[in-house]
Amino acid sequence: MLEACLKARCHYLDLTGELEVIDACYARHDDALAAGIAVVPAVGFNVAPMDCLAAKLAHEGDRLTALELGFEGYDISAGTAKTYSEGIALGNARFAGGRLLRSPIAWELRPIPFKNGVQRGLLIPYGELVSCHRATGIANISVFMVPPPSLVPLLKYGPRFSPLMRFAWVKRAVDRFAELRFPGPDEEARRTGRTQIWGRVTRADGSQRQGFLETPEPYQFTLAIALGAVERVLAGSVRPGAWTPSQAFGSEFMMEVGGCAMELEPPAFTAATRALPTASSSA
């Protein structure tokens, strides 16, 4: 699809959250410039909100050495579950020293200090790794998710059986299970649900800054984000090239879309931040 858009000189946006796809889009930056089009992957819940929060946190910082992000799990759909099952075979990922490092998925939970209380999150290989690295230049990035109960068996035991996914009949069985087990949020949940996102940046001198972003229910919110992104691209406000959501639309994009609440604390970097659990102490 991206290749077709480049040839047709048509803007490209998508809703992927898979880091390999996102990274492949960024690799076509020069081609997008030559074609005069905007290439902006991942304009849904993954990765736009966390990308914007990361850009906001990093805006007034210098010598930033680490970025940690976490979000509450939500009632996932069958399509999302299928993506998880396929991605398990690729293992986990994080940015360390400016490089994307892969490792086996391990069931090790870390405390994440959300605004509404500490919850335990699992290190995950989400697309925010490459988007936030591109948007902020920070060399060490980890992303965590609080796994919803329905997803725990897949994430906890799935890696043991991931080699079987190379067999077509196993993949069909897993896809069928996902369709039965993960119907996704109903209309009421999509209308009223809220999700918490947390981020923290660390500077070379040890000072830190954290931020909190509350959004509407992720699938419903994806509609608003995607439409807002398309409107801005069609209005000509995004320059040609391959961009992260925050690079294309600004770090305030989530607040402009609506329904979000963001808070940064402290207002400026300080070494006297209140004691918080360390999300990446042994990641």
Q: Is the pLDDT of residue 260 over 60?
A: yes
0.95 cut: is pTM over it? no
pLDDT digits (tens, 9 = 90+) for 23-75: 999 999 999 999 999 999 999 999 999 999 999 999 877 789 999 999 997 88
Residue 42 Cα to chain centre, angstroms? 8
State the Cα–Cα distance between residues 210 and 53, nearest whole angstrom.
10
The whole-angstrom separation of Cα 71 and Cα 50 is 9
Mean pLDDT for the stretch of residues 85-94: 80
The whole-number average pLDDT for the span 186-190 is 90
The owner of tokens 């800054």 is 209
CA distances to 121, 172, 264 from 280, rounded to whole Å, are 10, 36, 20
Domains of the chain in sequence order = 2-270 (3.30.360.10)
**pLDDT tens for each residue of 139-173:** 999 999 998 887 788 778 777 777 777 788 888 88
Packing angle between helix 128-136 and helix 19-26, nearest 10 degrees? Answer: 40
pLDDT value at residue 266: 75
Say yes or no to pLDDT of 86 above 80. Answer: no
Nearest by Cα to 179 from 276, 85, 98, 279 = 85
Structure tokens at 121: 């999150």
For 212-222, the pLDDT digits (tens) are 999 999 999 99
Instruction: Identify the band that residue 82 occupies on the pLDDT scale cut at 50, 70 and 90.
Output: confident
